[in-house]
Amino acid sequence: MQITMHKESSQLKNEGGVIATPQLNPTGKRGTTKKPQGFCRGIVVCLSMGSVASTNVRPPKHHHHQPTSKLEQQVRELEGEVQKQKEAVMMYRKRMERTQDYLRYCLQVAQDNGFLDLILHNKDDAPHFQSNMIVNASTSPPQFSTPEQHHSHLSSLIIQANLNGWYIAPHEVELHEKIGQGSTAEIYAATWRGLDVAVKCMHPDFFELNENGVSFFAQEVETLSRQRHRFVLQLMGACLDPPHRAWVVTEFLSTTLKDWLHGPGNRRDERVVALPPLKERLSKALEIAQAMHYLHGQSPKLIHRDLKPSNIFLDDAFHVRVADFGHARFLSDKEMALTGETGTYVYMAPEVVKCEPYNEKCDVYSFGIILNELITGEYPYIHTDYGPAKIALEAVESNLRPRLPNDVEYGQLGELLHLISVSWDGDASIRPSFATITTTLKQLLIN
């Protein structure tokens, strides 16, 4: 699930890989919405499907050329599909190899510590052991095994919402036009107590088809309700009545960082809007870093896991708001997460792609990609013809990274390039903290 505004929706469609399926919208009418796919199954779908031909082109005079043209188009489409399938097969093979390596590692650890013999020879009486190295292998959001537990989690959240004043009854919200659509929800412009707001309405089928849907929804709302920072999206309240009234009400923001930097629409080679001044772009980077510094400074720390320009919004004064906590999770100081391939391929850290244990430094990697995107004004990897899955694979196997800026009018190019390079380093331990990043960017803006 993702807390976003309307501009995010098209980006979700391009990056996440979604399929259309009939759903019920919040007004009860039947329409077309997006149903989430498994991450692996979304690999092929998330690849680019090419451009749409103009309908204003005058038809050729010789109609016998049309079949040839159509045939050539079909051949090109089939060739594209074959390439996508090859990339998908390559990614699946690499994932299988990494899974096998990790299982061998687990068996070796079990054998070295005497666990394996206990498991094999004394299954019934084997005690529970806890490793000194904490590796949390649960998926996100936390898994709750029974519907009763789901209901209990939601009930406690409703009590918390009422006590803290952010519980919203559905009749208080007046929905207007739909302004966006994601894989699990639709976004509406709305009015709540005379205030313009954005309302994320979860699809009812999300809860019917996902046994952990209530927990997922409750975790995102609870996570957002804790945040109090100038550069983090503000929760106004929530309607906590799934499956038909699971609504997240936030401040209304109409522009994403992606649209501000690249202009509206999908990814393209050439710019359609003027590149903002470098100092303004660096200011956006600083505000993102400050927001992430706040999130990582919590106890337990909150990692975002899907940081990208379409999940960062701008207010009327063009200050940032980090949004979309659908993939976020809390980690204690020494805890590592083990939920592979969480996020968006282009901005995903190598250790996440490889399904290895990771921590908050995965957000630093994503920030490094965003920082370079802000400086160059280019979409990441625009100089290649790779799809998202191929990009993720090459980032791991060949240390592929976006093209660094060649010429910057700002005076501290060397220090800026160094910050980008260490932020997206393949070794997570080398990446700086957001505290360090914030200090560096402040100094660059002063000089």
Q: Provide the annotated active-site residues.
A: 306
Q: Which two tokens stand for residue 203?
A: 């699809």
Sheet containing 235-241: which strands, arranged edge to edge?
173-181, 185-192, 195-202, 245-251, 235-241
* Among the listed residues 30, 73, 80, 81, the one whose alpha carbon sits nearest the alpha carbon of residue 52: 73
320-322 β-sheet, strand order? 255-256, 312-314, 320-322
218's CB contacts (< 8 A; 6+ apart) are 153, 154, 157, 240
Q: Two tokens at 386?
A: 């790779």
Q: Is 195 helix (H, G, I), strand (E, B) or coil?
A: strand
What is the largest distance, in Å, between two alpha-carbon atoms of the chain? 83
Q: Is-contact 253 314, C-beta < 8 A?
A: yes
Phi, psi of 34 (to 5 degrees): -110, 135
C-alpha–C-alpha distance, residues 49 and 442, integer Å:
41
Residue 399 to residues 67, 352, 384, 388, Cα–Cα distance (Å): 44, 14, 14, 15
Contact of 151 with 157, CB cutoff 8 Å: no
301 is annotated as contributing to ligand binding: no
Rg (C-alpha) for the chain, rounded Å, is: 23
> Cβ contacts of residue 357 below 8 Å, gap of 6+?
135, 336, 337, 338, 351
415 contact partners, CB below 8 Å, separation of at least 6: 440, 444
Q: How big, in percent rounded to 5, are the helix, strand and coil portions of the chain?
A: 45, 15, 40
Supply angle C-alpha 201, 206, 212, rounded to 5: 115
Q: Report the relative pairing of strands 30-35 and 312-314 from DSSP bridges.
A: unpaired
Is residue 316 within 8 A of residue 260, CB to CB? The reply is no
**Per the annotation, where are the binding residues for ATP?**
200
Q: Which residues are annotated as a binding site?
A: 200
